[in-house]
Structure 1
Amino acid sequence: MTNDPEESLISHLEALRGALLRCVIVTAAIYPLGYLASSHVINALVRWSFPASAGTLHYFAPMEVLWVRLRLALILALLTAYPWNVLQLWRFLLPALYKKERKTLGCCILSSSLLFFCGAAFSAGLILPLMMNFSGGFATAELQPNIGLANFLNLAGWLTLAFGLMFQSPIIVLLAVRFGVVSSESLRKKRPYVMTAILIAAAVLTPPDIISQLMLAVPTWLLFELGLALAERMERKTAATVSVLIADEALRERPFG
């Protein structure tokens, strides 16, 4: 093993390049399958979340459907290759981590991924149909919707991303408390500010209607409370461990006789 910092940096960069290259190759290999599946995904999404009151979807440019399917194929390829890509980055980081750090990072990656996919499923399964039904409710005999395919899928994509990101709030709270950025007691006292920040983020990440904003803000707030409860439990456990270590140290230093 070399002690030369320059050679060590080069070897790390080579390892990172190899990990990223493997991620790109597998994602690119899955991409054609994603393109083949894209039309089925669009049809399933429309059947699930596009009500009859919203009319029918349209496209307004000759190549619009093709570009939509190409973008959707990339998203599907990234989602399918996600476990492989995370594994490659994990293998790259593994040698630089201690055993406890490996466990912490592994739990964070697993929990963050699970929360993201839960947020995405919540968005696609509940929020998007509610929004489209709400939109379709404005239709009258004189006012008919004319929604484009690209606009519909952009809305679905933004909602999925927004819910996936906002569902990360328990992880953010736990990491902030774990690394001493803030205490659980301080977070509890600053609840009004946190709620304001959540409402602002929900307004930025969702379309400009109160329903979608509340549907994002309320679950995020509940998840924040969950993260706060877990952080308090973690602090109590850490404090108990420290007390035991201090007591053991005091017993070792006490003179006999």
Structure 2
Amino acid sequence: MPLIAHLLELRNRLLKMVLAVLLCFAAIYPFANPLYTLLSDPLTRLLPEGQTMIATDVAAPFFAPLKLALMLALFVAIPYVLYQIWSFIAPGLYRREKKLAFPLLFSSVVLFYLGAAFAYFVVFPLVFGFFTTVGPAGISEMPDMSRYLDFVLKLFFAFGVAFEIPIATILLVLAGITTPEDLSAKRPYVIVFCFIVGMLLTPPDIISQTLLALPMWLLFESGVLCARLIRRRTPDEDVEE
């Protein structure tokens, strides 16, 4: 295809991505307030009786659910967005690259969703349970709804990206940048790196740091294992390709 045709196809696919996000947003926004209530449940159910979240900004009750609806629209539309990206680049890939790229793409979406689910169902109850019990006596817990949303979105993103470690590991091996043996030899440094990342991406407490670092390490080990399995290809397959 000529360059102009490629640019037109890219424009059409970008428009489809934007339209998909807008359609998801239109479907989600009517339920924005109940969804925010559901999102805040891991914290609000731990607050002392009679204490609730507050809005320090007059427009926060409108903009916080609106922001949540937009982020959820992006979250829901990720598979379709990645499908459009795949459809654009797939014609330029070799057969072996297509065989590897699609499973990796599908796995990356699933892992990102699993990371977000792990944050909501495992990390949030433990982190908020810790925060609501360590404060000085006589202090009322009344979190601001906008700051809470920013806080949990950061954790969703951190755990979603952290769960992509197996995909990153496999891609590094397939690109010839490293080998499973080299990665295994660097395991002590990887463990330290996981705890450093956990310290930087999570609140300043040992619980959330550990809850991010340990899954990152286990996901790294699974990525190394998968990379070993992918590299075990027979000579006949190499000749055929």
TM (normalized to structure 1)?
A: 0.86
**One of 92, 99, 102 as aligned partner of 2:98:** 102
Q: Distance in 2 between matches of 1:245 and 1:9?
A: 33
Determine if contact 1:34/1:73 at 8 Å carries over to the other structure.
yes
Q: Distance in 2 between matches of 1:197 and 1:141?
A: 36
Q: Percent identity?
A: 34
Q: Distance in 2 between matches of 1:85 and 1:232?
A: 30
Letter in 2 for 1:162: A
2:32 is aligned with 1:38:
yes
Q: Distance in 2 between matches of 1:179 and 1:87?
A: 22
2:225 is aligned with 1:229:
yes
Q: Distance in 2 between matches of 1:142 and 1:78?
A: 41
Letter in 2 for 1:45: L
Q: Distance in 2 between matches of 1:49 and 1:145?
A: 10
Q: Distance in 2 between matches of 1:206 and 1:27?
A: 28
Determine if contact 2:42/2:128 at 8 Å carries over to the other structure.
no
Q: Distance in 1 between matches of 2:228 and 2:94?
A: 25
Partner residue of 1:5? none
RMSD (Å) for aligned C-alpha atoms: 1.9
> C-alpha offsets along residues 104-162 of structure 1, whole Å, 9 cap, x if unaligned?
11111101011100000000111011111111112455122221111211111111100
> C-alpha offsets along residues 39-71 of structure 1, whole Å, 9 cap, x if unaligned?
111111223443333641100011012111121
Partner residue of 1:193? 189
**One of 46, 61, 64 as aligned partner of 1:65:** 61
2:83 is aligned with 1:87:
yes
Aligned residue pairs, count? 237
Q: Distance in 1 between matches of 2:105 and 2:151?
A: 27
Letter in 2 for 1:33: A
Q: Secondary structure at the match of 2:38?
A: helix
Q: Which runs of 5+ in 2 are unaligned?
A: none
**One of 188, 206, 214 as aligned partner of 1:210:** 206
> C-alpha offsets along residues 171-204 of structure 1, whole Å, 9 cap, x if unaligned?
1111111121101111111112211221221112
Residue 243 of structure 1: how far off its partner (Å): 8.3
Which of these two proteins has the greater Rg computed from alpha carbons? 1
- Residues 1:12 and 1:130: Cα distance change in structure 2 (over 3 Å): same
TM (normalized to structure 2)?
A: 0.91
Question: Which is worse superposed, 98-107 or 165-174?
Answer: 98-107
Q: Which runs of 5+ in 1 are unaligned?
A: 2-7, 247-257
Q: Distance in 1 between matches of 2:206 and 2:238?
A: 52
